[in-house]
Structures are given as structure tokens and as C-alpha cells.
Chains A and B, each alone.
Chain A
Amino acid sequence: MSHEQSHPHHIVPLKIYLAVGAALLILTAITVAVSFIDLGGFNIVVALAVAAVKASLVILFFMHLKYDNKLYMIIFLVAIVFLAIFITFTMFDTLDRGVINPEMDLHINPRAKIYQNMLMDTAAVSSDTLPPPASGH
């Protein structure tokens, strides 16, 4: 009865799923191993590069974007592009706050209540390095 429909689903061979799974596990081992080597600023580059490769494998094969309607790929890429814009432009602001106005370089107000409690416990910080608490008592 249902044979009048052509088979609408692309069946990915079992071998591909197993190979992708193995590749993901190997890449996990690589990223863990590399994290124990001090590469300075390159550690994050390697970690994110390996994560990006792993993510691509998951998206292309497990999530079928390699085989499916390309519209889904476009939706996914739109999400990634907007995420990149979001993070990049936020960093433009937050990284350079002290450049124009040095007072803004202090990212957290040490007068905030919760920091006072914590700093009192820390012998490393002497009380005279702290600005006086806001008046009010």
C-alpha cells in the first residue's frame, strides 16, 4: 500500500555513524592531551579548533545537515553568525573600557556588600587598600 511513495528518507550507512563516533572520541582524547601542554595563548585556539571540528562532525552527520534540505544549514549558520556578532561586539565594549575612562577599568565595585564580607576574610588584602564603604550607617 505505502509503496506508491518513493522513499523520502536518506539512510546514512551504519559505518559512517560509527566512524564519526570514533573520530569524536579520538578528538576528545587529543583535546584533553593538548590541554596538559602549556602553549600559552594557543591553548584556547587549539581547544576551540578541536571543538569546532567535533561540532561540525556532529552537525553534518548526526544532525544530517550534510544530507538534509540546505535551509536547515542556513538556519544553523544564521544562529552562529548572530552569536559571533553578539560576542564580538560585546567584547569590543568590555575589553576596552579602561582605555577611554580609566575609572571604568575597575570591573567590579569592591564596595559592593558581598565583596566586603569576602575581602575581610582574606588576609592578603589590607583594609587600607579598600576604599571606604559607601556612607549610610
Chain B
Amino acid sequence: MSHADSHAAHPKHLAHHFSDSVQQAESAKLGMWIFLLTEILLFGGLFCAYAVFRAWNHEMFYSAHKFLDVTLGSINTVVLITSSVTMALSIHAMQLGKKKQTLILLAVTLLLAAIFLVVKYFEYSHKFHLGQLPGKYYTFTGVPGDNPHIFFSVYFAMTGLHGLHVLGGMGAIIWMMVRTAKNSFSPEYYTPLELTGLYWHLVDLIWIFLFPLLYLIG
């Protein structure tokens, strides 16, 4: 194949500073993984705070965690895991060139993310109502043990940051739906979709640890 031919066959998605599509996709994923590393360390600070405060206030953490609703937490875990499956399946559909299926699966993922946040909203508003608020705003008197506001500070910081990530993920999913609808992706090129998937699975991953630590063992 002559140079002119290969240039004519140059895929539209391939930027000129990459030698081929594989190198381009791998570079993009490398960047995404480094970003995910920083995300793990960001949440790591909160997991560390959880570990320190739990060790210092073991019994209070145990009493306070009983005020979290295990049923709602379990529902949200199932919702988030299912959304991870639909996210993975949407990429699978694009690999096979099924655009419509990709769009439907992305829409389902988005819907599940919204359900997660609605459940979270009900949990939060119930706690606001009872005065189970972080730090100095804490007014609830039903938890035995000292300084129960610390548990709720940790709870709101961890689930709040996670909730913001769910919102961010929803934004990315909407963006991917628009680009899929505009035919930006094909079985040869769907890197943004894959990166969105990686981000969404990380959000699921964080919740996989938040749920048992906060709701189940406290």
C-alpha cells in the first residue's frame, strides 16, 4: 500500500500525532487510569478518616450505623451494580456496531443512576429531618455513645462526594448518548464511551466499599 493510499484510508477519528488507532486508544486509557488513580487517592483520604474515627469511637460507630437504612442501602447497591452491567453492555453493543442498543443501554444506565440519587435524596432528607447532621449542626439525641455527630460527618462526607461523582457520571453518560446519536462512534472507534465506562465502574467500585463500611458494620 502506497503512502497516498494509507493516508486516504486514515480514519477520521485518528489524530495526526498518533501512529495508529490502537496507540491512540491506549494513550487515552492510560490518561484515564492515571485520573482514576487520583480519584482512588481522593476517596482514600475519606476512607482513612473513616478508619481513624472508627478506631477511636468504635462503639459509637456501631450504635450510629444502626440509624442507616440497610434496605435502602441494599437497593442502591443493586441499582448501582445493575447500572455497571448496563454500562458494560452498552460498550459491548457498540463493539458490535449496534447503535440503537448502545443508546438504549446508556439510557437505562442513566435512569438507574437517577434512581440511586432519588433513594439517596430520601435517605438524606430523613436524616436532615431528624437532625442527624454533620458536625455542629447535629441535634439528634437518639444515639447512645459519645460524639455521634462524627459518624454522620463521615457518612455525609463519603456519600456526598460519591453522590457528586454519580452526578458527574450522569453528565458524562448524557454526553455519550449525544455523541452516539450523532454517529461519532463505530466498532473501530468508541474510546470516549470506554472511558466513561471506566469512570462509571469506579463510582460503582467506591460504593462497593462504602456500603458495607457505613451501612453494614458501622
Contacts and interface: CB of A to CB of B under 8 A. Distances in A.
A118 B149 CA distance: 10
Q: How many A residues touch the partner, as a band?
A: 35 or more
Interface string A13-24: 010011011001
Interface string B32-75: 01101100110011011001100110000000000000100010
Interface string B178-218: 00000000011000000001100110110011011100110
A10 B11 CA distance: 19
Given A44-B217, A87-B48, A21 B25 contact: no
B88 interface: yes
A120 interface: no
Contacts of B208: 51, 54-55, 58
A25 B29 contact: no
A130 B129 CA distance: 30
B127 interface: no
A99 interface: no
A90 B37 contact: no
A8 B22 contact: yes
Given A14-B92, A21-B85, A32-B70, A108 B44 contact: no
B48 A79 contact: no
B25 A8 contact: yes
Interface string A108-119: 100000110110
B205 A55 contact: yes
A75 B212 contact: no
B41 A83 contact: yes
A2 B85 CA distance: 30
Contact of A122 (B141, B197, B198): B141
Nearest to B148: A118
B216 A35 contact: yes
Interface in A22-52: 24-25, 28, 31-32, 35, 43-44, 47-48, 50-51
A93 to B, nearest CB: 9
Contacts of A47: 212-213, 216-217
A5 B20 contact: yes
A87 B37 contact: no
A87 B51 contact: yes
Interface of B: 1, 6, 9, 11, 20-22, 25-26, 29-30, 33-34, 36-37, 40-41, 44-45, 47-48, 51-52, 55-56, 70, 74, 77-78, 81-82, 84-85, 87-89, 92, 95-96, 135-136, 138, 141, 147, 149, 187-188, 197-198, 201-202, 204-205, 208-209, 211-213, 216-217
16 contacts: A12-B88, A21-B85, A32-B216, A35-B70, A35-B217, A51-B208, A54-B208, A55-B205, A55-B209, A59-B205, A63-B202, A69-B26, A75-B34, A78-B37, A83-B41, A118-B138
Given A62-B197, A86-B41, A118-B138, 9 more contacts: A8-B21, A17-B89, A20-B85, A24-B84, A28-B77, A62-B88, A72-B29, A80-B40, A83-B47
Interface of A: 1-2, 4-5, 8-9, 11-12, 14, 17-18, 20-21, 24-25, 28, 31-32, 35, 43-44, 47-48, 50-51, 54-55, 58-59, 61-63, 68-69, 71-72, 75-76, 78-80, 82-83, 86-87, 90-91, 94-95, 107-108, 114-115, 117-118, 121-122
